[in-house]
Chain A
Amino acid sequence: MDYQALEKKYLDVAARVVEKAARAGALVEAYLNAGETLSIEVRNQEVEALTTARDQGLGLRVIRDQRVGFAFTTDFSPAALDLCVEQALANARMATPDAHNCLPARYPGYPSLDLFDPGIIDTPVGQKIELVREIERQARGYDPRVKITESCSYNDSRYLVALANSQGITAAYHAAYCGASTFMVAVENEESQTGFGLAYGLQYKNIDPVKIGREGAARAVRMLGARRVNTQRAAVVLDPYVATNFLGVIAPALAADAVQKGKSLFRGRVGQQVAAPVVNIIDDGRRPDGIASSPFDGEGVPTEHTTLVEKGILKCYLHNTYTAARDGVKSTGNGARGSFKTTPEVGTTNFYIAAGPHTPEEIIKEIPKGLYVTEVMGMHTANPISGDFSVGASGLWIEKGELTNPVRGVAIAGNIINLLGSIDAVGSDLTFFGATGAPTVRIASMTISG
Chain B
Amino acid sequence: MLLPEADLKAILAAALAQGGDFAEIFLERRRTTIISCEENKIERVTSGLEQGAGIRVIKGENTAYGYSNDLNRESLIQTANLVGKALPGQPGPVEITFQRPRAQVEFTIKKSPDQVPVDEKVALVQRANEAARAVDQRITQVTVGYGDVIQEVTIANSAGVLVEDQRVRCRFVVNAVATDGQAIQTGYESVGGHQGWELFESVNPEEQARLAAQRAVRMLEARPAPAGKMPVVMAGEAGGTMIHEACGHGLEADLVQKQLSVYAGKKGQQVASELITVIDDATIPGKYGSYRFDDEGIPGEKTVLIEKGVLKEYMYDYLTARKEGRRSTGNGRRESYQDRPIPRMTNTFIAPGQDDPAAILRETKQGLLVKRMGGGQVNTTNGDFVFDVAEGYLIQDGKVGPAVRGATLTGNGPEVLKIIDRVGSDLGFSLGICGKDGQGVPVGDAQPTIRIPEMVVGGILDEEAKD
B62-A47 in contact (CB<8A): yes
Identify which of B42, B47, B69, B459 contacts A71 (C-beta below 8 A).
B47
For the complex, is A83 an interface residue (Cβ under 8 Å from B)? yes
**Residues of chain B at the chain A interface (Cβ within 8 Å):** 35, 38-52, 61-70, 79, 82-83, 86, 118-119, 122, 140-141, 177, 179, 183-186, 224-225, 227-229, 258-260, 262, 338, 340, 374-379, 381-382, 384-388, 405-408, 410-412, 456-461, 463-464
A408-B42 in contact (CB<8A): no
A95-B43 in contact (CB<8A): yes
Which residue of B has the minimal Cβ distance to A265? B184
Which residue of B has the minimal Cβ distance to A101? B43
Q: Given A95-B43, A411-B386, verify A75-B406 contact (CB < 8 Å).
A: no
Which residue of B has the minimal Cβ distance to A92? B45
For the complex, is A48 an interface residue (Cβ under 8 Å from B)? yes
User: Whole-angstrom distance from the CB of A435 to the nearest CB of chain B?
Assistant: 15
Which chain A residues in 303-361 approach chain B with CB under 8 Å? 341-343
Which residues of the partner chain B approach A88 to less than 8 Å between Cβ atoms?
A: 47
A55-B67 in contact (CB<8A): yes
Which residues of the partner chain A approach B186 to less than 8 Å between Cβ atoms?
A: 383, 385-386
User: Whole-angstrom distance from the CB of A191 to the nearest CB of chain B?
Assistant: 7
Which residues of the partner chain A approach B82 to less than 8 Å between Cβ atoms?
A: 52
Which residues of the partner chain A approach B458 to less than 8 Å between Cβ atoms?
A: 390-392, 410-413, 449
Which residues of the partner chain A approach B119 to less than 8 Å between Cβ atoms?
A: 94
A392-B386 in contact (CB<8A): yes
A150-B382 in contact (CB<8A): no
Q: A262-B179, A390-B459 are in contact. List 9 more A-B contacts (CB 8 A).
A: A51-B67, A70-B46, A94-B45, A148-B258, A265-B184, A378-B387, A391-B458, A409-B412, A410-B456
Which residues of the partner chain A approach B48 to less than 8 Å between Cβ atoms?
A: 71-73, 341
Identify which of A56, A185, A447 contacts B69 (C-beta below 8 A).
A56
Interface centre among B229, B407, B410, by most A CB within 10 Å? B410
For the complex, is A381 an interface residue (Cβ under 8 Å from B)? yes
For the complex, is A46 an interface residue (Cβ under 8 Å from B)? yes
A391-B386 in contact (CB<8A): yes
For the complex, is A1 an interface residue (Cβ under 8 Å from B)? no
Identify which of B42, B260, B376, B456 contacts A96 (C-beta below 8 A).
B42
Which residues of the partner chain A approach B379 to less than 8 Å between Cβ atoms?
A: 194, 377
**Residues of chain A at the chain B interface (Cβ within 8 Å):** 43, 46-57, 68-75, 80, 83-84, 87-88, 90-92, 94-96, 98, 148-150, 185, 191-194, 228, 231, 233, 261-263, 265, 341-343, 377-378, 380-381, 383, 385-386, 388-392, 394, 408-415, 447, 449-450
Identify which of A74, A390, A411, A447 contacts B52 (C-beta below 8 A).
A74
Identify which of B42, B64, B225, B456 contacts A409 (C-beta below 8 A).
B456
A74-B51 in contact (CB<8A): yes
Identify which of A83, A98, A413 contacts B225 (C-beta below 8 A).
A413
Which residues of the partner chain A approach B378 to less than 8 Å between Cβ atoms?
A: 377
Q: What separation, in Å, do the CA atoms of A84 and B184 have in the docked complex?
A: 40
Q: Given A192-B381, A449-B458, verify A48-B63 contact (CB < 8 Å).
A: yes
Q: What separation, in Å, do the CA atoms of A96 and B43 have in the docked complex?
A: 6
Which residue of A has the minimal Cβ distance to B40? A96
Q: Given A94-B122, A185-B381, verify A57-B406 contact (CB < 8 Å).
A: no
Which residues of the partner chain A approach B340 to less than 8 Å between Cβ atoms?
A: 49, 51
16 sampled A-B residue pairs with Cβ under 8 A: A49-B340, A52-B83, A53-B65, A53-B66, A54-B70, A55-B67, A57-B50, A72-B48, A73-B49, A95-B42, A96-B43, A193-B382, A233-B464, A261-B38, A411-B457, A449-B456
Identify which of A91, A342, A392 contacts B47 (C-beta below 8 A).
A91
Interface centre among B64, B229, B387, B406, by most A CB within 10 Å? B406
Q: Given A52-B66, A378-B375, verify A409-B410 contact (CB < 8 Å).
A: yes
Q: Given A233-B464, A378-B388, A449-B457, verify A193-B381 contact (CB < 8 Å).
A: yes
Q: What separation, in Å, do the CA atoms of A450 and B384 have in the docked complex?
A: 13
A386-B183 in contact (CB<8A): yes
Q: What separation, in Å, do the CA atoms of A191 and B35 have in the docked complex?
A: 48
Which residues of the partner chain A approach B66 to less than 8 Å between Cβ atoms?
A: 51-53
Which residue of A has the minimal Cβ distance to B457? A449
Which residue of B has the minimal Cβ distance to A382? B388
A53-B68 in contact (CB<8A): yes
B65-A57 in contact (CB<8A): no
A233-B177 in contact (CB<8A): no
Which residues of the partner chain B approach A71 to less than 8 Å between Cβ atoms?
A: 46-48
Q: Given A51-B340, A91-B118, verify A390-B141 contact (CB < 8 Å).
A: no
B141-A262 in contact (CB<8A): yes
User: Whole-angstrom distance from the CB of B213 to the nearest CB of chain A?
Assistant: 14
User: Whole-angstrom distance from the CB of B46 to the nearest CB of chain A?
Assistant: 5
Q: What separation, in Å, do the CA atoms of A80 and B225 have in the docked complex?
A: 53
Which residues of the partner chain B approach A389 to less than 8 Å between Cβ atoms?
A: 406
Which residues of the partner chain B approach A149 to less than 8 Å between Cβ atoms?
A: 258
User: Whole-angstrom distance from the CB of B449 to the nearest CB of chain A?
Assistant: 22
User: Whole-angstrom distance from the CB of B156 to the nearest CB of chain A?
Assistant: 19
B338-A55 in contact (CB<8A): yes
Which residue of B has the minimal Cβ distance to A39? B65
A75-B51 in contact (CB<8A): yes
Interface centre among A55, A262, A390, by most B CB within 10 Å? A390
Which residue of B has the minimal Cβ distance to A257? B38
Which residue of B has the minimal Cβ distance to A73? B49
B385-A98 in contact (CB<8A): no
User: Whole-angstrom distance from the CB of B47 to the nearest CB of chain A?
Assistant: 4
Q: What separation, in Å, do the CA atoms of A261 and B179 have in the docked complex?
A: 12
Which residues of the partner chain B approach A70 to less than 8 Å between Cβ atoms?
A: 44-47
Interface centre among B40, B63, B458, B459, by most A CB within 10 Å? B458
B461-A233 in contact (CB<8A): yes
A447-B44 in contact (CB<8A): no
Q: What separation, in Å, do the CA atoms of A408 and B279 have in the docked complex?
A: 29
User: Whole-angstrom distance from the CB of B187 to the nearest CB of chain A?
Assistant: 11
B46-A447 in contact (CB<8A): no
B464-A447 in contact (CB<8A): yes
Which residue of A has the minimal Cβ distance to B411? A409
A450-B456 in contact (CB<8A): yes
Q: What separation, in Å, do the CA atoms of A43 and B61 have in the docked complex?
A: 11
A94-B42 in contact (CB<8A): yes
Q: What separation, in Å, do the CA atoms of A43 and B338 have in the docked complex?
A: 22
Which residues of the partner chain B approach A72 to less than 8 Å between Cβ atoms?
A: 46-50
Which residues of the partner chain A approach B227 to less than 8 Å between Cβ atoms?
A: 231, 411, 413, 447, 449
Q: What separation, in Å, do the CA atoms of A233 and B186 have in the docked complex?
A: 28
Identify which of B40, B61, B229, B384 contacts A408 (C-beta below 8 A).
B384
B61-A75 in contact (CB<8A): no
Identify which of B79, B374, B381, B412 contacts A150 (C-beta below 8 A).
B381
User: Whole-angstrom distance from the CB of A105 to the nearest CB of chain B?
Assistant: 23
B386-A148 in contact (CB<8A): no
Q: What separation, in Å, do the CA atoms of A414 and B405 have in the docked complex?
A: 11
Which residues of the partner chain B approach A84 to less than 8 Å between Cβ atoms?
A: 49
B258-A150 in contact (CB<8A): yes
A98-B41 in contact (CB<8A): yes
Q: What separation, in Å, do the CA atoms of A394 and B458 have in the docked complex?
A: 13
Q: What separation, in Å, do the CA atoms of A343 and B278 have in the docked complex?
A: 41
Interface centre among A49, A80, A150, A343, by most B CB within 10 Å? A49
Q: What separation, in Å, do the CA atoms of A46 and B49 have in the docked complex?
A: 37
Which residue of A has the minimal Cβ distance to B69? A74
Which residue of B has the minimal Cβ distance to A80? B49
Identify which of B50, B122, B377 contacts A377 (C-beta below 8 A).
B377
Which residues of the partner chain B approach A390 to less than 8 Å between Cβ atoms?
A: 225, 388, 406-408, 458-459
A262-B177 in contact (CB<8A): yes
User: Whole-angstrom distance from the CB of A60 to the nearest CB of chain B?
Assistant: 10
